[in-house]
Amino acid sequence: MKYYDVEPVYTEEELGKVEAQTVEVPDLLGLTIAEATDKIIKAGLESNITIEVEAERIVKSQFPKAGEKVVKGSVVTLILN
């Protein structure tokens, strides 16, 4: 985890373990909640939706951003329209 924008320093062995546990965050922008949640689960991640919503709402932003590498099981937060 980055702390104060300081990049972590790993040994080759540690780096291999970290990379083996990372997955790419899918692009969820413009998807319905159902579609986004399905992609999140298929990527091995968990979703974080903090309000009661209708399934037809559309994702307008996400964190982490699409394409970032995160540890499998990480939470993806969705901001809806």
What is the block-wise mean pLDDT of the chain (81 residues), using blocks of 10 residues? Answer: 69 77 91 92 88 74 93 90 81
* Parallel, antiparallel or unpaired: strands 46-48 and 75-80: parallel
Predicted TM-score of the model (pTM): 0.57
* Parallel, antiparallel or unpaired: strands 69-71 and 75-80: unpaired
Residue 19's pLDDT is 73
On whether the CB atoms of residues 69 and 22 are closer than 8 A, the answer is: yes
- Residue 6's DSSP bridge partners are 3
- Residue 63's DSSP bridge partners are 77
On whether the CB atoms of residues 78 and 66 are closer than 8 A, the answer is: no
- Ordered by where they begin, the domains of the chain are 23-80 (3.30.10.20)
Residue 51's pLDDT is 66
Residue 61's pLDDT is 92
Residue 31's pLDDT is 92
